[in-house]
Structure 1
Amino acid sequence: MIFVTLGSQKFQFNRLLKKVDELIGQGEITEEVFAQIGASDYEPKNYEYKAFLDRKTFEEIMSRCDMVITHGGTGAIIGAVKQGKKVVAIPRLKRFNEHVDDHQLQLITQFKELNLICDCLDVECLGSAINGAKSLVYNEYESNTLCFLESLKEYINS
């Protein structure tokens, strides 16, 4: 199963949802797809979706999926890679009114350089990104939270 998750911010990502619909319609995506579409107003025709999910439902779908297609949000990406999911990340872009700037390009590039995700910087390449992500082997995510907390504690104590 493929889980498309677009976060809960006020920004639409219709461009991605339409492309997933198109790929399913063309038979390029054959897996079951479920999407959490957030503030997008495009209504998918070839797969199930909900605008927003409660935490329990989100976690249940995440646990069942093999792949996550998501925007370039840090939380969405880290949440998926922590669970060992194959991730295809597509940046929201300012020119399409999907965000206020193009910072998601940089975030996705960083995650790609760490070999944690498959990047898809052009939504027209989504089909090949999905196919490529299936066979790639990614690094395991390592949190630096404990290191950060130790550094913070040392700073406070000094």
Structure 2
Amino acid sequence: MIFVTLGSQNFQFNRLLIEIDRLVEEGKITEEVFAQIGYSDYKPKNYCYKEFHDRDEFADIMSKCDKVITHGGTGAIIGAVKKGKKVIAVPRLAKFGEHVDDHQLQIVEQFEKMNFIKYVDHEGELEKLILNIDKASFQNYKSNTLNIISSIEKFVEV
């Protein structure tokens, strides 16, 4: 299953939803797709969706999927990577009214350089990536939280 998650900020991301709808309608995506569409105006016609999920619903869907298509938000990306999902990120772009600037482009570029995800900055490239994502091999995410806490504790003790 593919889980599409667009975050909870008050911006639409119709461009991505429309492209996924087209790919499902044309039979390019044959597996089940479920989306959390947030504040988008576009309502998918060829796959199930909900505007927002509570924490338990979100966790349940995330546990059932093997692929995540997401915007370029750090939280969404890290959450999926931590769960071992194959992640495709499509950054929101200011020129489409999807965000105030293009910082998500820099975020997804860095995550791809670290080999945690794949990204496309143009929705037309999504089809090829979806068809090949199962062949991709990614770096496993290892949290650095304990090292950071240890460093802070050592600093405070001094």
Say yes or no: TM over 0.5.
yes
Number of the residue aligned with 2:115: 115
C-alpha distance in 2, partners of 1:133/1:70? 14
Q: Do structure 1's residue 21 and structure 2's residue 21 form an aligned pair?
A: yes
Number of the residue aligned with 2:54: 54
Q: Look up the SS of the partner of 2:45 in the other structure.
A: coil
Q: Do structure 1's residue 92 and structure 2's residue 92 form an aligned pair?
A: yes
Q: Look up the SS of the partner of 2:57 in the other structure.
A: helix
* 1:116-150 Cα deviation digits (max 9, x unpaired): 11111111101011122111111100111111112
Q: How many residues matched?
A: 158
Number of the residue aligned with 1:127: 127
C-alpha distance in 2, partners of 1:104/1:146? 27
Supply the RMSD in Å over aligned alpha carbons. 0.9
Query: Aligned letter for 1:124?
Result: G
Runs of 4+ aligned structure 1 residues displaced above 4 Å come to none
- Is 62-71 or 115-124 further displaced after alignment? 115-124
Number of the residue aligned with 2:150: 150
Q: Look up the SS of the partner of 1:142 in the other structure.
A: coil
C-alpha distance in 2, partners of 1:139/1:80? 13
Q: Do structure 1's residue 65 and structure 2's residue 70 form an aligned pair?
A: no
Query: Aligned letter for 1:134?
Result: D
- Is 27-36 or 140-149 further displaced after alignment? 140-149
Number of the residue aligned with 2:32: 32
Q: Look up the SS of the partner of 1:72 in the other structure.
A: coil
Q: Identity of counterpart residues, as a percentage?
A: 58
Please, which runs of 5 or more residues in structure 2 have no aligned partner? none
- 1:157: how far off? 2.7
- 1:156: how far off? 2.5
Query: Aligned letter for 2:105?
Result: L
Q: Look up the SS of the partner of 1:95 in the other structure.
A: helix
Q: Look up the SS of the partner of 2:30 in the other structure.
A: coil
* 1:83-119 Cα deviation digits (max 9, x unpaired): 1100000000011111111010111011101111111
C-alpha distance in 2, partners of 1:157/1:9? 39
- 1:154: how far off? 2.4
Q: Look up the SS of the partner of 1:44 in the other structure.
A: coil
Query: Aligned letter for 1:126?
Result: L
